[in-house]
Amino acid sequence: MASKKFVYDYPRAAVTTDVVLLRSPRRPEVLLIRRDNGPFAGSWALPGGFIEMDEGLEDSARRELEEETGLRAGRLVQLGTWGEPGRDPRGRTVTVVYVGWVSPVRSEPRAGDDAAAAEWFPLERAARGVPGLAFDHVSVLRAARRWIRPRPKPSSSGSRKRRGSSRG
């Protein structure tokens, strides 16, 4: 197959995907990898990387997760998109982040591809900032922490009583 050459009149951003993989719902832990390559070599980060030109976003997230950790996720939900200029020193990069859960029974990672290590961290600790966490992943982990927090349930009566008012 002949390789395609892409030529554009305007600069283009690169697109990556990242995965917030969680286990242990009562005391959530998040899977991080130690980067083997620059930028941020030696730093902890979420599993992820650049999309291939012929794959979908969720497929990219699943591929990167498996390549870097040896783990497969069940259901993934798109958590959000991060794309502030300067978030990646290699150039303008936008990442689409997915979040999902894995069973604690089947969750022993093995580092692969460009990951030097893969380990579980308590989500609360990681969201406060594991020393040297790469890119803007602290912001991503804080969003994941908000995503898993229980939401208030609506009142069962469906209406609110107004205090201090009397109706005749």
29-73, pLDDT tens digit by residue? 999 999 999 999 999 999 999 999 999 999 999 999 999 999 999
* Residue 71's CATH number: 3.90.79.10
Higher pLDDT, 9 or 122: 122
pTM recorded for the entire structure? 0.84
One-letter amino acid at 161 equals: K
Among 32, 74, 76, CA closest to 57: 76
Query: What 8-state DSSP symbol labels residue 138?
Result: H
Query: Phi, psi at residue 14, to the nearest 5°?
Result: -85, 155
The whole-angstrom separation of Cα 34 and Cα 53 is 26
CA 48 from centroid of its chain's CA atoms: 8
What does DSSP say about strands 29-35 and 44-45: parallel, antiparallel, or unpaired? antiparallel
Whether residue 167 has pLDDT greater than 50: no
Q: Is residue 166 part of a domain?
A: no
Among 22, 51, 48, CA closest to 33: 48
Minimum mean pLDDT range among 6-20, 21-35, 76-90, 146-160: 146-160
The whole-angstrom separation of Cα 98 and Cα 155 is 31
12 pairs with which residues across the strands? none
Q: Is residue 74 part of a domain?
A: yes
Q: Are 20 and 65 in contact (CB under 8 A)?
A: no
Q: Domain count of the chain? A: 1
Mean pLDDT of the chain: 89
Q: Is residue 130 part of a domain?
A: yes
Q: Is residue 50 part of a domain?
A: yes
Q: Are 147 and 97 in contact (CB under 8 A)?
A: no
The whole-number pLDDT of residue 111 equals 94
Give, rounded to a whole angstrom, the gap between the first and last alpha carbons of the chain.
Answer: 82
Q: Is residue 121 part of a domain?
A: yes
Q: Is residue 20 part of a domain?
A: no
Q: Is residue 11 part of a domain?
A: no
Containing domain of residue 136, as a range? 29-148
Q: Is residue 69 part of a domain?
A: yes
The whole-angstrom separation of Cα 107 and Cα 105 is 6
Query: What 8-state DSSP symbol labels residue 110?
Result: -
Per-state percent for the chain, helix, strand, coil, to nearest 5:
20, 25, 50
**Tokens in use for 96?**
């689409």
